[in-house]
Structure 1
Amino acid sequence: MKLQKQPTLADTICDLRARKIKTTFFTQINELIDWYSIEKLIDADYSKGKSVVGKPSYSGLLLFKMCLLQSWYGLSDYEVEDRLNDSISFSYFCGMHIDEVAPDHSTLSRFRTALTKTKTFEKLFGSINAQLEAHKIIVKKGIIVDASVIETPLRPKGKTNHEVTEDRSEEEIAVKKEYAQSVDKDGTWLKKRGKYHFGFKKHHVTDDEGLVLGVLTTTGSKNEIANLEEVLETVNIDLPKDIPLKADKGYQSRKNAEILKKRNLKNHILKKAYKNKPLTNWEKKFNKLIGKTRFKVERTFGGIKRWFNGGLARYRGMAKMHTQNLMEAICYNLYRSPGIIASNCKN
């Protein structure tokens, strides 16, 4: 076990940290998570290297906590560097003395790129979720699946024809859109509810409370109906048998029914009406019952967008977008954890 840093004179003078921040969110998260195990995961894949100007290298855990702060507050690399230098609460969360200088934006960017290449963010997401499950914050009594569009500002401009996929349709149509010089080549067009979007999709598997269990990132035109099995593969820990999977009617297909049967999951996908075959009274009641909990995955997407300024691509390329989606999922689960613990104590 690593020894805690001894407080400096500056820390002592600013003892208001202990008094004013004791019951804050940052303290709760630091007490909830075993950061030592997280640091070991990071250090296995991240080499701190040597500073060419003789400055001390920064720990991977410090840089990961900066990534958390960045996602929680919707900050750029430059902004999180400035805030860490100015904010007592930020330095407290990251384990820095207030007279220490924060890592600069380029160090943070290189760290994120390095861990993206080694897929370490996937491991960190799984490790933190395992801790939340041990605390009974995540409970797998059922799962919910859905997808959300993430638009990128690096979209085509200039008049030309593009293949645009209708959301949840396997057909492609050509429409006139504009091209620009700088375009994210991993993004694609999608038509949803009559509007055109360019970018990516994030596919979530959540528990019944909306906490994220699995994340899949695809290009925007990817049809989520056809990749249910791929989405379920993102939950890299075994799910209990015979728990229900809830999803909207767009996921209803014979193939998906077989996938759920093979995985010993109950099919609670909303029933869909067809031409000359309306829903029966039983199917309407079934949909109403499932809808009472299925909306929670939509609340997850909404929470990430509202609380963390999510829903917009911050980076270029599929790999870095997947890192963004994983970090937002980690941050969402941690953000809700203190409230769930308090609720569990009341019950």
Structure 2
Amino acid sequence: MIRESLFAAEEREAKLDRLGDVLREMEKHIDFKVLAAEIDRAAPRPSRARGGRPPFPTELMVRAFLLQNLYGLSDEQMEFQVLDRLSFQRFLGLRRSSQVPDRTTFWTFRERLTAAQAGDALFEAVNRQLARHGYIARGGQIVDASLVPVPRQHVTEEEGEQIKAQAMPADWKPAERRQRDVDATWTKKHGKSYFGYKLSVSADRRYKLIRKLKVSTASQNDTLHLEDVLDSANTGRDLYGDKGYVDGEREARLKSRGWRVHIQRKAEKGRPLSVCQKRRNTRIARVRARVEHVFATLDQMGGKLLRCIGLDRARFLLAGKAATYNLRRLCSLKACGVVAF
């Protein structure tokens, strides 16, 4: 027979703590009030001069945005999980409240931050939290890029030419225009076609934390982003990259600025790599593999597929995803006893 208890809720929470609630660990190390203040500075809360229901606190919404990124939840699933899941209710401070944000509230919050281009502000605020714990960029940096798919769209050749000319096809109805992503582009990788955007990051070698990022359309070449994501604050001057970043002129320019460039070499037609070059590539690959762990974790956090339309939304969501990764990584470093120095 199942035993009932007046203190069942408290007993379940106590058991959650014993089992280990990752969200509780985040609360120990992350100052969400500071993150909320940065968001309010970047995207001021809407005026209530005309009345209406007061918006939910910014801190609550920032926490909810973190949860969506951490678990890869849509707005509809987020609403359901907040209503159903004890750990979410506790993390959001809604354990005793009958007021819960709905799917429209989550969407409206993101749209306000996207319009204010607050993604960079959130990402930098998170990096300041990392610095407060002593995890500054050390040991050099690794640069890499990954394709971020969005739902595929099919247009006629004529419509495609108009989109390339930054014009909207005249025969598209208003509803269709709202649902068409005219910023995303097609590209090929290893013989497979992809439609979406590209995320380039610089991760520090010691802690595997994302220090800088850049988002572009998928068709842009990776090599164009290298200098944009260089982290000059890194205490090491070593730069690691794969064969896609080979550019003799740029390497010479970076070396003249004090960078120690470690870019893998690629063979050319009729000119295979020498034994020395192969050994060098292997040495670089051992270090460069650490950035692949970053992208693998992003995949685990619901994958990199975006539920949005347009480059501005993609930039904001990927900055939020990178910020969430850094917060998760901070908790992992703390749990593993990795000392910052």
- TM-score tier by shorter-chain length is 0.7 to 0.9
Alignment of 1:81-230 (within 5 A): 81-137=79-135, 139-157=137-155, 183-208=180-205, 209-230=207-228
Q: CA offsets, 1:126-185, max 9 Å, x none?
A: 12122223324454211111111112114224567969xxxxxxxxxxxxxxxxx65310
Aligned counterparts of 2:28 and 2:272: Cα–Cα separation in 1? 53
CA change 1:315–1:78 in 2 (3 A) is same
Higher strand share: 1
Letter in 1 for 2:185: T
How far off its partner does 1:41 sit? 0.7
Partner residue of 1:176?
Answer: none
How far off its partner does 1:302 sit? 2.1
In the alignment of these two chains, the number of paired residues is 316
Aligned counterparts of 2:198 and 2:331: Cα–Cα separation in 1? 29
How far off its partner does 1:121 sit? 2.1
Partner residue of 2:336?
Answer: 343
Partner residue of 1:35?
Answer: 32
CA change 1:263–1:130 in 2 (3 A) is farther
Partners of 2:86 and 2:95 within 8 A in 1: no
Letter in 1 for 2:280: F
TM-score by length of 1: 0.82
Aligned counterparts of 2:160 and 2:263: Cα–Cα separation in 1? 32
Partners of 2:137 and 2:211 within 8 A in 1: no
Select 1:250's aligned residue among 236, 244, 248.
244
Within the alignment, does 1:239 sit opposite 2:222 as a pair? Answer: no
Letter in 1 for 2:67: L
Aligned counterparts of 2:333 and 2:50: Cα–Cα separation in 1? 46
How far off its partner does 1:262 sit? 4.8
CA change 1:275–1:162 in 2 (3 A) is farther
Aligned counterparts of 1:16 and 1:56: Cα–Cα separation in 2? 34
TM-score by length of 2: 0.83
Alignment of 1:10-29 (within 5 A): 14-16=9-11, 18-22=13-17, 23-29=20-26
Partners of 1:187 and 1:198 within 8 A in 2: yes
User: Greater relative contact order: 1 or 2 (C-alpha under 8 angstroms, separation 6 or more)?
Assistant: 2
How far off its partner does 1:94 sit? 1.6
Aligned counterparts of 2:159 and 2:38: Cα–Cα separation in 1? 46
Aligned counterparts of 2:47 and 2:8: Cα–Cα separation in 1? 33
Aligned partner of residue 268 in structure 2, secondary structure: coil
Aligned counterparts of 2:339 and 2:251: Cα–Cα separation in 1? 38
Question: Alpha carbon RMSD of aligned pairs, Å?
Answer: 2.8
Q: CA offsets, 1:199-226, max 9 Å, x none?
A: 1111111112432111211001001113
Partner residue of 1:290?
Answer: 284
Aligned partner of residue 188 in structure 2, secondary structure: strand
CA change 1:255–1:298 in 2 (3 A) is same
Partners of 1:155 and 1:199 within 8 A in 2: no
Partners of 2:246 and 2:264 within 8 A in 1: yes
Aligned partner of residue 198 in structure 2, secondary structure: strand
Unpaired segments of 5 or more residues in structure 2? 1-6, 162-175
Q: CA offsets, 1:66-85, max 9 Å, x none?
A: 11111111111122122212
Aligned counterparts of 1:162 and 1:249: Cα–Cα separation in 2? 31
Partner residue of 1:73?
Answer: 71
Partners of 1:137 and 1:341 within 8 A in 2: no
Partner residue of 2:3?
Answer: none
Identity of aligned residues (%): 31
Aligned partner of residue 148 in structure 1, secondary structure: strand
Aligned counterparts of 1:157 and 1:94: Cα–Cα separation in 2? 42
Aligned counterparts of 2:103 and 2:257: Cα–Cα separation in 1? 44
Letter in 2 for 1:89: S
Letter in 1 for 2:265: K
Select 2:255's aligned residue among 254, 261, 280.
261
Aligned counterparts of 1:82 and 1:123: Cα–Cα separation in 2? 29
